[in-house]
Chain A
Amino acid sequence: MNLRRDVFQAIADPTRRAILILVASQSMTAGAIASNFDTARPTVSKHLQILTECELLEQEQNGREISYHINAKKMKEVADFIEPFRNMWDDRFNKLESIMKTYQDKK
């Protein structure tokens, strides 16, 4: 059986999505990540393992501690990180444009 973790399976879990959002802006140690959840530490470790296996997270050894940061390249495969933000503005501006065109015609 192929045990390779599927990216979509990985992000299907709400805790794992929350972890990705947490580390999106800065690299964090497992302890710091776990402190944001009520879940037991080993459960969070398991989630980190899954996210690392499917390469959404990358590990970095800092002395005795391991910190995690987002793998931007892999995230781009799932969805371009900035694309939804751009889409949000594009939708708004498309609306603005069509509203003002109608407005212009009415004059």
Chain B
Amino acid sequence: MERKTKINAEDDKQELVITREFDLPVDLLFKAYVEPEIVEQWMGTKVLKLESKNHGSYQYETTDPKGNKHLFNGVIHEFFPNQKITRTFEMENTPFGVQLEFLSFEKLTNNTSKLTMHVLYKSVALRNQILALPFAQGINMAHNRIQDILSKHQK
């Protein structure tokens, strides 16, 4: 399958750029960021608050497989329908600090659109740690799979 989502993270820079093209008109893509019920579905999170306007704020809550709750929040600095959202993002009770996100929504054709997510972190080290999070979870999962296979062999 074609890799639609691209990540550009240059060495020694405290930022990254995520780009993705969608088979959706730009207004539908934008709606997926604004309607709480829709955000909940694709982000796999509960939306506690989402004020999509200049100087609004938001708070999400996710529950991990162990049942622990994690909170995320941020403020919306700029909100231009079907064009851009500038906001902060922070995972509560973690050492990662706040990040600044520039989301731009672009019409490509009547039925296709492009999202560019430009994210700035406080330092290069913090950016790399956040990039490494899914990697760390991945090796944990791979390890669990290996253990499952091994324990089945032992029986």
Contacts and interface: CB of A to CB of B under 8 A. Distances in A.
Is chain B found bound to chain A in the same assembly? yes
A49 to B, nearest CB: 20
Interface string A6-45: 0010011010010011001110000000000000000000
B136 interface: yes
A12 to B, nearest CB: 6
Nearest to B35: A103
A20 B129 CA distance: 11
A14 B129 CA distance: 18
B43 A84 contact: no
B22 A24 contact: no
Q: Identify whether the interface residues of B are mostly helix, strand, loop, or mixed.
A: helix
A104 B24 contact: yes
A67 to B, nearest CB: 15
Q: Identify whether the interface residues of A are mostly helix, strand, loop, or mixed.
A: helix
Contacts, number: 100
Interface in B113-137: 115, 124-126, 128-129, 131-137
Contact of A104 (B28, B126, B131): B28
B28 A100 contact: yes
Contact of A88 (B24, B125, B134, B140): B134
B38 A99 contact: yes
Contact of B139 (A17, A25, A97): A17
Contacts of A93: 4-5, 20, 22, 42, 115
A29 to B, nearest CB: 16
A82 B138 contact: no
Contact of A103 (B22, B28, B44, B142): B28
A12 B5 contact: no
Contacts of B55: none
B32 interface: yes
A65 interface: no
Interface of B: 3-7, 9, 18, 20, 22-25, 28-29, 31-32, 38, 41-44, 115, 124-126, 128-129, 131-140, 142-143, 146
5 smallest beta-carbon distances between A and B, as pairs: A84-B134, A25-B128, A90-B5, A96-B42, A95-B42
Given A21-B136, A95-B41, 9 more contacts: A11-B142, A25-B125, A78-B139, A85-B133, A86-B7, A89-B20, A92-B42, A101-B23, A103-B38
